[in-house]
């Protein structure tokens, strides 16, 4: 889904990813993983023109996972301080 948050090619900026909730990040992760699967399928069937897109999507997946982990750690630290 191309919208005002994403850069051309579908990549979101890290700053924009930090604004998303955990559920929204999970949704973005699912979309990115599905896109990566489709790109891999296209490369096997010789339909993929831009092979660099695979690298970009892999990095996007890593970026999203990093943001999710940061939120998990922040929630854990908040919970620890309250106890």
Q: What is the pLDDT of residues 23-61, one digit of tens each?
A: 999 999 999 999 999 999 999 999 999 999 999 999 999
Higher confidence at residue 2 or residue 80? Answer: 80
- For position 14, what pLDDT does the model report? 86
User: From its phi and psi, is residue 50 left (phi > 0), alpha (psi between -120 and 50) or beta?
Assistant: beta
Q: Coil, helix or strand for 77?
A: helix
* H helix runs in 21-51, sequence order: 22-44
> In the structure, what pLDDT confidence band is assigned to residue 83 with cuts at 50, 70 and 90?
confident
Identify the three-state secondary structure at position 12: strand
pLDDT the model gives residue 19: 93
Report pTM: 0.82
Alpha carbons 35 and 83: distance in angstroms, whole number: 41
């Amino acid at each position: 889904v191309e919208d005002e948050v994403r850069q051309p090619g579908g990549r979101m900026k890290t700053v924009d990813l930090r604004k998303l909730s955990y559920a929204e990040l999970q949704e973005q992760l699912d979309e990115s993983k599905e896109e990566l699967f489709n790109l891999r399928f296209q490369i096997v069937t010789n339909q993929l023109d831009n092979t660099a897109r695979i690298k970009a999507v892999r990095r996007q997946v890593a970026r999203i996972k990093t943001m999710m982990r940061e939120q998990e750690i922040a929630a854990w630290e908040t919970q620890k301080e309250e106890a």
